[in-house]
Amino acid sequence: MENKIISSKTEKILVLDFGGQYNQLIARRVREQQVYAEIKPYSRITPEEIRTAGYKGIIFTGGPNSVYDESSPHYDPAILDLGIPILGICYGVQLMVYMAGGVVSSAENSSEYGKTIVQADKNVLFKDVPEKSVCWMSHTDFISTPPQGFSVIARTDKCPCAAICDESRKLYGVQFHPEVTHTEYGTAMLRNFLFDVCGVTGDWKMESFIDNAIEKYTNELAGKKVLLALSGGVDSSVAAVLLHKAIGQNLTCVFVDHGLLRKDEGDFVENTFRKQFGMNLIRVNAEDRFLGKLKGVTEPEKKRKIIGEEFIRVFEDEAKKLGKINVLVQGTIYPDVIESGKGDSAVIKSHHNVGGLPDVISFDEIVEPLRDLFKDEVRKVGEQLGIPHELVWRQPFPGPGLAVRIIGEITKEKLDVLREADAIFREEVANAGMEKITNQYFAVLTDLKSVGVMGDARTYGRTIVLRAVTTDDFMTAEWTRLPFEVLERSSSRITNEVGGITRVVYDITSKPPATVEWE
Ligand code: XMP
């Protein structure tokens, strides 16, 4: 079954990916203007396919250093004559120049990195942009001779062609990055390209996404038995509610409670989906099964593997009880889908997700209702579907749960200690209104014991670590500068209210070199 929910009438912009690091950001910026954008690697789509797909505009992303490198991505110049407006960004504009017969040069003293003042002419691309403004540059090569038919419309002290255009063919290009926030008027420039050059109206709205999805699945899944693994995370929750609206009780959600959840989390998930939404939910209390498998295991990767595999086994057992399943739903989102042509990266941790499920359960098809959406769009859909705010905006929680926040062997007793400490810390962060300042914050239970004193007696207890990070994408993260008062209150409450804790420390390591989770 074709998974696409985007209506064929929706206006679409193509982000043609030449390997730049900002390709996802460009697509998000376009979508923030309520214009639907799709990312495609340049090697996977031909000019003819672009033409027939009906894109209203194309954005060439940045990419490797020089268009004259043989290994650099090149493209069929026929794309320039499709009559579809194009905006080239950084490498993208250099490629446009190269394809159209202009000259790109390299000179050591012409490279620019970081914030640069750009002087712009009057041009549709710079409507509502002052003559001089700050833009973000990151280039070594520069355009020394624009192609025939192109004129220069912006420059910097070092760069004679900071922007060019051929208005008659609706081809535009900028050497800087309008998609990053450091470019003061970047949003205005993107809007000008979208609305004034491409002529879109901005019809990408979450309401229409929801309506289309419900209509599509109501028709296509009528009478089918549909199964979804609900974790209580944002993606699977939104997918569940969306499908429930379409097919009601034909959807069965299986929530595997592995006993490694935060305080009261299992009950919260059960109440929300069973009571509030009236969904057909099976909660599997599998704590004993998981703790049995984890007994004596201390090695982080081994813990992760055991939990991942056991999760599949439990889910499989439940699915078998339900008989023949026609459809499996997965909460895949757009960043998981985009093929970027990047090389294999080293495995730092084996992340747990439900990607392995299709191998073990027999069903006819997979449905991924969120595969066109970025995370912030998934959250918008969640809010519009009436999912509780605390669930839609909840911080990420790893699939293996608290198991990767307990150093050493996992026991029920340690889990209970960690749950209490973690709940106190989260409560204190929330009470101080710091939830928007930090993106993820939690407690870790180490296996380190140290000496303390309580009353007049010596104690010898465990050490809790508090961790809070600030990040956009969790690929890199900075430790959050939480106010000392929040740390102090958390420390004092944890040592007083949770048994066996002698010491509380705050983790001041960023990622890299550390990771967010301790295991
Ligand atoms: P690390 O520790 O790799 O974490 O810096 C980055 C982000 O990913 C989350 N995380 C996971 N999420 N399954 C998940 O769904 C996992 O196995 C997993 N491990 C880490 C982590 O909480 C952080 O947000």
Q: Print the SS3 string covering 490-508.
A: HHHHHHHHCCCEEEEEECC
- Ligand 1 centroid from CA 500, angstroms: 28
Q: Relative to the CA of 400, which ligand 1 atom is closest?
A: 17
- State which fold the 206-392 domain adopts: Rossmann fold (3.40.50)
Q: Are strands 36-41 and 501-506 parallel, antiparallel or unpaired?
A: unpaired
Q: Are 463 and 450 in contact, with CB atoms under 8 Å apart?
A: yes
Confidence of residue 357 (pLDDT cuts 50, 70, 90): low
Residue 352 has pLDDT above 70, yes or no: no
Q: Positive or negative CA dihedral for 446, 447, 448, 453?
A: positive
pLDDT digits (tens, 9 = 90+) for 492-506: 999 999 999 999 999
- Ligand 1 centroid from CA 284, angstroms: 23
Q: Relative to the CA of 518, which ligand 1 atom is closest?
A: 2
Sheet strands (E) in 171-234: 171-174, 226-229
**Under CATH, which number does the domain 411-506 receive?**
3.30.300.10
One-letter amino acid at 449 equals K
| Pocket around ligand 1 at a 6 A CB cut-off | 349, 351-353, 396, 398-400, 440, 474, 511, 515-517
Identify the active-site residue in 161, 165, 177, 519: 177
- Ligand 1 centroid from CA 314, angstroms: 22
Residue 228 has pLDDT above 90, yes or no: yes
Q: Are 431 and 515 in contact, with CB atoms under 8 Å apart?
A: no
Q: If you average pLDDT over residues 441-460, what whole number do you get?
A: 95
* Delimiting residues of CATH 3.40.50.620 domain(s) in the chain: 206-392
Residue 226 has pLDDT above 70, yes or no: yes
pLDDT digits (tens, 9 = 90+) for 374-389: 999 999 999 999 999 9
Q: Are 361 and 337 in contact, with CB atoms under 8 Å apart?
A: no
One-letter amino acid at 5 equals I
Whose structure tokens read 């007994």?
Answer: 295
- Ligand 1 centroid from CA 518, angstroms: 10
Among the four given CATH numbers 4.10.91.20, 3.20.20.70, 3.40.50.880, 3.40.50.720, the one describing domain 12-197: 3.40.50.880
Give the residue whose CA is nearest to atom 19 of ligand 1.
398
Q: Which of 306, 330, 354, 474 to mutate to test the pocket of ligand 1 (most atoms within 8 A of CB)?
A: 474
Question: What is the chain's mean pLDDT, rounded?
Answer: 93
* Delimiting residues of CATH 3.30.300.10 domain(s) in the chain: 411-506
Bridge partners for 120 per DSSP: 154
Q: How far apart are CA 272 and CA 189, in angstroms?
A: 43
Q: Would residue 90 show up in a list of annotated catalytic residues for this protein?
A: yes
- Ligand 1 centroid from CA 457, angstroms: 40
pLDDT for the residue 346: 66
Q: What is the DSSP string of 228-279?
A: EE--SSHHHHHHHHHHHHHHGGGEEEEEEE-S-SPTTHHHHHHIIIIIIS--
Q: How far apart are CA 354 and CA 183, in angstroms?
A: 39
Give Cα separations from 155 to 138, 299, 387 (angstroms): 15, 56, 49
* Delimiting residues of CATH 3.40.50.880 domain(s) in the chain: 12-197
CA angle 129, 131, 134 (to 5 degrees): 75
In percent, how much of the chain has pLDDT > 90? 84
Q: If you average pLDDT over residues 88-106, what whole number do you get?
A: 96
**Which residues lie below 8 Å from residue 425, measured CB to CB, with a gap of 6+?**
441, 442, 443, 466, 490, 494
Most confident among 252-261, 451-460, 470-479 (mean pLDDT): 252-261
- Ligand 1 centroid from CA 119, angstroms: 43
Q: Which of 516, 518, 519 to mutate to test the pocket of ligand 1 (most atoms within 8 A of CB)?
A: 516
Radius of gyration (C-alpha) of the chain in whole angstroms: 26
Q: Relative to the CA of 351, which ligand 1 atom is closest?
A: 17
Q: How far apart are CA 494 and CA 416, in angstroms?
A: 13
Residue 344 has pLDDT above 50, yes or no: no
Most confident among 31-35, 63-67, 314-318 (mean pLDDT): 31-35
pTM: 0.87
pLDDT for the residue 397: 95
Record the tokens describing residue 384, joined without a space. Answer: 């519009």
Q: Would residue 299 show up in a list of annotated catalytic residues for this protein?
A: no
Give Cα separations from 394 to 237, 253, 305, 462 (angstroms): 11, 20, 25, 28
Q: Which of 351, 394, 402, 510 to mutate to test the pocket of ligand 1 (most atoms within 8 A of CB)?
A: 351
